[in-house]
Amino acid sequence: MEPVSVGLVGAGPWAEMVHAPILAAGPHTMLAGVWARRPQAADELAGRHRVPSFERLEDLFDLCEAVAFCVPPAVQAELGVLAAKAGKALLLEKPLAADLDGARRLADAIGEAGVASQMVFTFRYSPATTAFLDRARALRPFGGHASNLSGVLHGGSFATPWRLERGAVLDIGPHVIDLMDAALGPVVSVRAHGDPLGWVGLLLEHTGGAVSEVSLTMAAGGDLPPARADVYGAEGSATLLGSEIGDDVFPVVAGEFARTVRRGGGHPLDARHGLRIQEIITDVERQLG
């Protein structure tokens, strides 16, 4: 398969740590160039990978087949529409947008343009997750619990403005909800309590009658257990620990994205799936006020 040329939008810590090196490493992708709202950051990141940086986003689009986004959710929703209209396939971060209207506009633009899309729900690309989901679905599952606990809000590279403002629901919520959705069936309703900047508890109801509980925080201190998910059913139980998921997922993301681009779409974690998860997130935030 000929490598897919991918332009990178964004030059922050996550783009520097993951997107740029993985896309540049190949063999299924090649980094075509970088654009960011901070030109100096784009220049520095592009220089490290010996690719051009661009002052105009349209010039990046002219040079690539696909675009990977590593920017805040509101920016992704705005610029993703432009990429779709330019006929580019999109590799998208979660959440799809900062709000439901933005997510709908982006998903609709992708659908109208007929371009491929794929979202980086990191857990879902790990062999450990695949094995967990296979076990969970075979259990005749009726319930489960998942938790994701961190101290991101106390500072560091990922204490970015949108995370500090919106907290755990918008940032780590999509990962955990998507995982339980895959393990127990599509989420059909949610009840929420707590504080996105403190502790949030969710009660998810799934098709077929299964129920799961989710605990989220990004405000904890001290030593914390790894993220985990447990599913219980008539035939036993299954457990996934976040410590089982390593950095080797990111080359898988890039390889799957290249294949998605070449076949013109069809990835299960596409923008429409991201929109459905955003609908759940929006309901949670509405309930929490």
Topology of domain 127-245 in CATH is Dihydrodipicolinate Reductase; domain 2 (3.30.360)
Q: Do 4-122+248-268 and 127-245 have matching folds?
A: no
Q: What is the pLDDT along the chain (289 residues), one digit of tens a residue?
A: 899 999 999 999 999 999 999 999 999 999 999 999 999 999 999 999 999 999 999 999 999 999 999 999 999 999 999 999 999 999 999 999 999 999 999 999 999 999 999 999 999 999 999 999 999 999 999 999 999 999 999 999 899 999 999 999 999 999 999 999 999 999 999 999 999 999 999 999 999 999 999 999 999 999 999 999 999 999 999 999 999 998 899 999 999 999 999 999 999 999 999 999 999 999 999 999 9
Full-model pTM: 0.96
Nearest Cα residue to 155 out of 98, 93, 221: 221
Distance, in Å, from the CA atom of 108 to the CA atom of 87, rounded to the nearest integer, reads: 14
Domain ranges of the chain: 4-122+248-268, 127-245
Number of neighbours of residue 140 by Cβ within 10 angstroms: 11
Distance, in Å, from the CA atom of 273 to the CA atom of 107, rounded to the nearest integer, reads: 9
Domain 4-122+248-268 is in which class? Answer: alpha beta
Distance, in Å, from the CA atom of 176 to the CA atom of 96, rounded to the nearest integer, reads: 15
Decide the pairing of beta strands 141-149 and 228-233.
Answer: antiparallel
Paired with 147 in beta bridges are 215, 228
